[in-house]
Amino acid sequence: MKRLVKVGLLCVASLFVVSRSSAQDLIVLSNDAVDELQVKIIEVNDDNVKYTEWNTSDGKTITISTDDILYIKYQNGEKRKFYTPVADSETHGEAWSFWKRSFGTAADTTRPSYEFTYLLPDISADKAFHMGIERLGAYNLKDNLYIQSGLGWFFGRYDKGGVATIHHTLSIPISVGYNLPLGSKNVWSLDFRTGPRMSYVVAGRYKYGREEIRFKYFDDIKRFHASYDAGVAIMFGCLGIVVEYNLALTPHSANTLKAGLKMMF
């Protein structure tokens, strides 16, 4: 009878240990052995990670350099990857190491980004162009899924019927995106996004030959514009080329195709 009680207690204890181990954080080191540390993460910085060991009760905080970490797997299943300069230098050379130190990896979607773009309106305009820059920030929802927004400024001109319209527009995109890494090195990736965009013309003018009528005195052009955007970018590290189609939602707006350069810092 006592033997059965001991066996039962051991089974209960083993179940308790399993339940505890399944709730721990995991640090995977970037050494050749790919060691794993069962820990409780306290703090994560750019240069180091602070943690306490999971199987001890002394509560001592240990600090480890992020250069020695391949990735962290949190108890909720989320992963955070880190750059390993030694491995990259040995495998790809110093130029590769410098690139990743400077620009990170393509999957780091939370880095702020700038987009330098050129827009092509639909053929309803005789001659047209739009150029601008957008400053965007992102927040990770899950793994490589993120939500992104920011503020853009565009300078545009189109000529129709002998009348040139020149305007400056503020633009606010709100999009949901997904970053799809290509290959095991996590450098090349495809970045998909879609969502609405609101724009407002803040300044401009009509030009009839030598005569100019500024919006301050003549406000016939519609100021507010809305569109639904869908685009894709091919990224190398944090530098890429983006192509996006803007479907007009307001009657007076034009469909546009945007192409440009994307940089993440």
The residues spanned by each domain of the chain are: 24-82, 113-264
Is the per-residue pLDDT at 97 higher than 70?
no
Asked if the 113-264 domain carries CATH number 2.40.160.20, the reply is yes
State mean pLDDT over 210-237: 77
- Full DSSP string of 49-118: EEEEETT-SS---EEEEGGGEEEEE-TTS-EEE---HHHHHHHH-HHHHHHHHHH--TT-TTS-EEEEEE
Higher pLDDT, 12 or 236: 236
Q: How distant, in Å, are the alpha carbons of 6, 123, 134, 220, 232 from that of 158?
A: 85, 11, 21, 15, 26
Higher pLDDT, 194 or 139: 194
Is the per-residue pLDDT at 213 higher than 70?
no
Higher pLDDT, 85 or 168: 168
Is the per-residue pLDDT at 101 higher than 80?
no
Name the pLDDT band for 114 (thresholds 50, 70, 90).
confident
**Above pLDDT 90, what percent of the chain?**
18
Is the per-residue pLDDT at 261 higher than 50?
yes
